[in-house]
Structure 1
Amino acid sequence: MRPIVAERIVICVDIALVIVSAIGCAVGYHLATASAVGKVAIYAAASTLVAINFALLITVQDGYRLKTITNLPRTFRMTLATWTGVFGALLAVAFTMKVSNEFSRASTISFYLVGLSVLLIWKAVAARWTSHALRTGAFANSRAIMIAEFGLPASSHAMIDIAQHGYRLMRIMEIRSKELASPLLLSTMAPRLDELIAYARENRIEHVFLLMNWSRQHAIDSILDALKILPIPVHLVPDVHAARFLRYPLQSTGNIWTAELRRAPLSWKERTLKRIFDLAGASLALIVFAPVMLATAVLIKLTSKGPVFFRQTRNGFNGAAFKIFKFRTMRVLEDGPTIRQAEKNDPRVTRTGKWLRKTSIDELPQLFNVLKGDMSLVGPRPHAAAHNTEYERIIGNYAFRHHVKPGITGWAQVNGYRGEISAIELMQKRVELDIWYINNWAVRLDLKILLLTVVTSLRDPNAY
């Protein structure tokens, strides 16, 4: 079986289990209370929406990759957080659109509990089945051989992926570094290469992998020349030096390909596309979260003295200053050349503010900044102007973050870098992730980050 087939089977079973759980809970409840089947079609439609959203959210978290499926603790956490997040979001939408009265509370709660239980049981079964399949090489259907520099197969991470995910390594021929460096490689290795070619023919080998330092151009060319008699593809596995650069987007530059290590700021077409996405997303979010924002404003007024909103100077695109909007969570309104970051158990934070910061509800007014054009839904998080000045002196590429508009959420935040910055290393890592986002921007990446934000805010609330 091919790995992609196994991954799609898991997706289909997830969707099927969610829909069956919803219909089963609805039918069971109505039979028990009214001795009638009830509105099965409505529950079927709603459960389909839940199932699709759940599957999409798991997909953007790489939850259907074989490595993730076999990591049961991570899969359980992801399933619980995503299932709860999807339910909460769709219930909020149903309440806002006044369709929640179409669903029984008892059947909805039972659907949440039964659906979650069934999914967790299935995830445990899938993890065990997948682990066994990987161990036995069930996904390695293509026969392959490898020619490698001596010692590299034992230390190469690529070996694990090749062996487990689609290719059955039938034989590995290792060549010593001294022999690879020799200009007489073909003549000295001719008997071994002839034997390997004969083996490939007899055993119907479908692929050849070369694992060696890319600087050994003479050796690679010589081995390719010797293997040209075989009508099968030859793959050059990235060495440890090239592998880290091949994570970047590959661009065609004339007749050559380059790894784009740092891209130019977004073009006007990309900025227009991102702006349309921001306007549509922010408008929809304001409609959905209007009741939450109204309730929050009332709660702030009732529980502490001061304004509902807090405004502070931040730097946006090209370093331009703007005033960011947030719900007030502190007893102070700091802005200027000296600002102290919020810390754990910070006495300046109000009781209501502590909850708002944990749930990130305090960030919702920034939707108005998005509509104004100061911010984007997704981008590097803007820091206070005072902190910007400090970090620009310490971190060399910090200013590169201003090549795009700042965002309500970002790639760094969904990768665990949100909340207090207790060490400069944390900011350096955040900047590194922000630059990766700028270099790899696409609308689908923005969508992925927004979906992950919902999940991570529920799973890892570490903002103070």
Structure 2
Amino acid sequence: MTITTSNKLPHPDHAATVRTPSPKARLNWLRPALIERLLPVVDGLISILCGIACVLFYDLFPNTGPFSIDTYASASLLIGVNFCLLMMLQDGYRVKNLVELSQQIKMTIATWTAVFAALLAIAFAMKVSGEFSRGVTLSMFSLGLVALLGWKTLVSRLTLYALQSGAFANGRVVVISESDMHRSSDAMLELRRHGYRVNRTLEINAHDLTSPLMMSAIAPRLNELIGYCRHNRIDQILLLMRWDRQNAIDGLLDILKILPIPVYLVPDANVSRFLSYPLVNAGSTWTAELRRAPLSWSERAVKRVVDILGALVALVVFAPVMVIAAILIKLGSPGPVFFRQTRNGFTGRDFRIFKFRTMRVLEDGPKIVQATRNDPRVTWIGAWLRKTSIDELPQLFNVLKGEMSLVGPRPHATAHNSEYEQIIANYAFRHHVKPGITGLAQVNGYRGETNTLELMQMRVEYDLSYIDNWSITLDIAILFKTLLVGFHQPSAY
């Protein structure tokens, strides 16, 4: 669902442009676009320098080398390029995100770790991992991460200082505001936070704004404000009033045209609510995306690469555990090792999910009973497999087949799916992405039996939040949290 606005308002991040005069405002060399282009270059240089420094350091010790600087410099370049690309994909270099230090730290740790893990998996698969020293590689990872975190912290503090001190261009403004709106406007708070310095405010009451004699009533004050702008090098004029005050806005623009200063219309409370959503171009206009569709092709491609690499690494790591589990299942009770059941996946399509068999029955079809505490159908080895989530590991094969993802809403049995679609609003939106082995709901405690409607509603809310806020960083964070809590699930039985 989208809302379309006029193409006269192309940049709603902080204010929508109404009119731009021909003379240029004062130019400062420090520009957000410049910062956003330079930071990936610096991150890449840090990666390369840390790699070379680690090689040179290890060469100082006897019996540890010699190492090829060219090899490690090339590997560092590859790591740096992939790191920067993933950060750009997550908008990690946008000025508005640079000031969020905690977000920058989480994003840096997750992305740096993911890049190293992926490239190590590729090197292992291509049988070239033997050419790299484990000590140098570990040092490159540690030193690079520490250096990047220190650099991100410095950049965040400097960017915040620059924004608050008005170091970026066009910082001196005057505001023409509907009474008291400038004190309660979230948009104005954001503008001040990002370096816009309000030098003077002209307030107009609501009665005057709706009066046909408004310009006569405010003429003395407006003339005084115009004189102030002329003598104090004001960069911009901001109009802060309801957007349906069309006559008042047109009248102010007509008078203010004598000033060679840009005039901006700040979003009111009603418009700001929609501008908080992602913006999408639609022809010559832009739209506010109130609910996102399934992931774009580029997002799906990135997620698919992470899924394949992660599944291959997990299968290698957990292969001994899976073999032992298969043997214990065979010895523990008659029946197959694997349990296959029909589930609903991406866009609601059916697929057959793989799990280790944990019960004496193999239920599938229109009626399925959820497992409960002390369920007599669960085998002795099945209870342990369910408690530790080891029974979910065969779903890595579903991931490789493209039917599932490592992270996403958990797929429910077809019978349960049909039931919940009738009684829970927006339940069907869970199928906007591939189902996952783990998900946001599961790492927040909503795993296992859902014996009340409220529990399922909470799980669905987490699933929808995951879909609306998806990023590769969120996936990696959920995977790490799954490893931490996966072997202690009180609700799993």
TM bracket (short chain): 0.7 to 0.9
Higher helix residue share:
1
Does residue 1:350 correspond to 2:384, yes or no? yes
Amino acid at match of 2:154: V
Does residue 1:182 correspond to 2:198, yes or no? no
Amino acid at match of 2:455: A
Corresponding residue of 2:4: none
Instruction: List gaps (5 residues or longer) in structure 1.
Output: 438-447
- What is the number of residues matched between the two proteins? 439
Corresponding residue of 1:30: 59
Following TM superposition, by how much is the alpha carbon of 1:207 offset from its aligned partner in structure 2, in angstroms?
A: 2.7
Does residue 1:85 correspond to 2:141, yes or no? no
Corresponding residue of 1:17: 46
Q: Aligned in 2, Cα 1:304/1:170: closer, same or farther, shift over 3 Å?
A: farther
Q: How does 1:19-168 map to 2 (within 5 A)?
A: 19-34=48-63, 38-66=67-95, 68-139=97-168, 141-165=170-194, 167-168=196-197
Q: How does 1:233-252 map to 2 (within 5 A)?
A: 233-246=262-275, 247=277, 249-250=279-280, 252=282
Select which of 445, 455, 458 maps to 1:423.
455
Corresponding residue of 1:301: 326
Following TM superposition, by how much is the alpha carbon of 1:238 offset from its aligned partner in structure 2, in angstroms?
A: 1.9
Corresponding residue of 1:445: none
Q: Aligned in 2, Cα 1:62/1:308: closer, same or farther, shift over 3 Å?
A: farther
For residues 249 and 292 of structure 1, the distance between their equivalents in structure 2, rounded to whole angstroms, comes to 41
Between 1:91-100 and 1:208-217, the stretch displaced more is 208-217
For residues 284 and 114 of structure 1, the distance between their equivalents in structure 2, rounded to whole angstroms, comes to 24
Does residue 1:406 correspond to 2:428, yes or no? no
TM-score by length of 1: 0.76
Contact 1:3–1:139, Cα closer than 8 Å, also in 2: yes
For residues 175 and 91 of structure 2, the distance between their equivalents in structure 1, rounded to whole angstroms, comes to 29
Does residue 1:365 correspond to 2:401, yes or no? no
For residues 125 and 276 of structure 1, the distance between their equivalents in structure 2, rounded to whole angstroms, comes to 33
Following TM superposition, by how much is the alpha carbon of 1:250 offset from its aligned partner in structure 2, in angstroms?
A: 4.9
Contact 1:94–1:100, Cα closer than 8 Å, also in 2: yes
Contact 1:82–1:455, Cα closer than 8 Å, also in 2: no
Contact 1:293–1:364, Cα closer than 8 Å, also in 2: no
Corresponding residue of 2:356: 328
CA RMSD, aligned part only?
4.3
Q: How does 1:193-342 map to 2 (within 5 A)?
A: 193-246=222-275, 247=277, 249-250=279-280, 252=282, 259=288, 261=290, 291-292=316-317, 294-295=319-320, 297-302=322-327, 304-305=329-330, 307=336, 309-316=338-345, 319-325=348-354, 327-328=355-356, 330=358, 335=364, 337-340=367-370
Following TM superposition, by how much is the alpha carbon of 1:241 offset from its aligned partner in structure 2, in angstroms?
A: 1.6
Residue aligned with 1:38, SS: coil
Contact 1:303–1:352, Cα closer than 8 Å, also in 2: no
Contact 2:177–2:240, Cα closer than 8 Å, also in 1: yes
Following TM superposition, by how much is the alpha carbon of 1:160 offset from its aligned partner in structure 2, in angstroms?
A: 3.2
Q: Aligned in 2, Cα 1:8/1:331: closer, same or farther, shift over 3 Å?
A: farther
For residues 219 and 185 of structure 1, the distance between their equivalents in structure 2, rounded to whole angstroms, comes to 8
> Deviations along 1:258-282, whole A, 9 cap, x unmatched?
656568899xxx89x9999998887
Q: Aligned in 2, Cα 1:154/1:90: closer, same or farther, shift over 3 Å?
A: same
Larger Rg: 2
Amino acid at match of 1:395: I
Between 1:332-341 and 1:31-40, the stretch displaced more is 332-341
Residue aligned with 1:323, SS: strand
For residues 311 and 73 of structure 1, the distance between their equivalents in structure 2, rounded to whole angstroms, comes to 42
Corresponding residue of 2:3: none
Corresponding residue of 2:479: 457
Q: Aligned in 2, Cα 1:262/1:150: closer, same or farther, shift over 3 Å?
A: same
Amino acid at match of 1:340: Q
Q: Aligned in 2, Cα 1:391/1:150: closer, same or farther, shift over 3 Å?
A: farther
For residues 349 and 217 of structure 2, the distance between their equivalents in structure 1, rounded to whole angstroms, comes to 65
Does residue 1:382 correspond to 2:411, yes or no? yes
Residue aligned with 2:476, SS: helix
Amino acid at match of 1:50: I
Residue aligned with 1:364, SS: helix
Following TM superposition, by how much is the alpha carbon of 1:98 offset from its aligned partner in structure 2, in angstroms?
A: 0.7
Q: Aligned in 2, Cα 1:409/1:163: closer, same or farther, shift over 3 Å?
A: farther
For residues 98 and 279 of structure 2, the distance between their equivalents in structure 1, rounded to whole angstroms, comes to 27
For residues 85 and 36 of structure 2, the distance between their equivalents in structure 1, rounded to whole angstroms, comes to 13
For residues 291 and 478 of structure 2, the distance between their equivalents in structure 1, rounded to whole angstroms, comes to 28
Instruction: List gaps (5 residues or longer) in structure 2.
Output: 1-29
Aligned sequence identity (%): 42
Residue aligned with 1:32, SS: coil
TM-score by length of 2: 0.72
Contact 1:146–1:172, Cα closer than 8 Å, also in 2: yes
> Deviations along 1:373-408, whole A, 9 cap, x unmatched?
x56899765333243234323333323455x56344
Residue aligned with 1:33, SS: coil
Contact 1:378–1:450, Cα closer than 8 Å, also in 2: no
Following TM superposition, by how much is the alpha carbon of 1:331 offset from its aligned partner in structure 2, in angstroms?
A: 5.5
Q: Aligned in 2, Cα 1:48/1:291: closer, same or farther, shift over 3 Å?
A: same
Q: Aligned in 2, Cα 1:197/1:423: closer, same or farther, shift over 3 Å?
A: farther
Amino acid at match of 1:239: D
Following TM superposition, by how much is the alpha carbon of 1:84 offset from its aligned partner in structure 2, in angstroms?
A: 2.7
For residues 88 and 303 of structure 2, the distance between their equivalents in structure 1, rounded to whole angstroms, comes to 23
For residues 442 and 388 of structure 2, the distance between their equivalents in structure 1, rounded to whole angstroms, comes to 22
Amino acid at match of 1:300: A
Q: How does 1:433-452 map to 2 (within 5 A)?
A: 433=465, 436=468, 449-450=471-472, 452=474
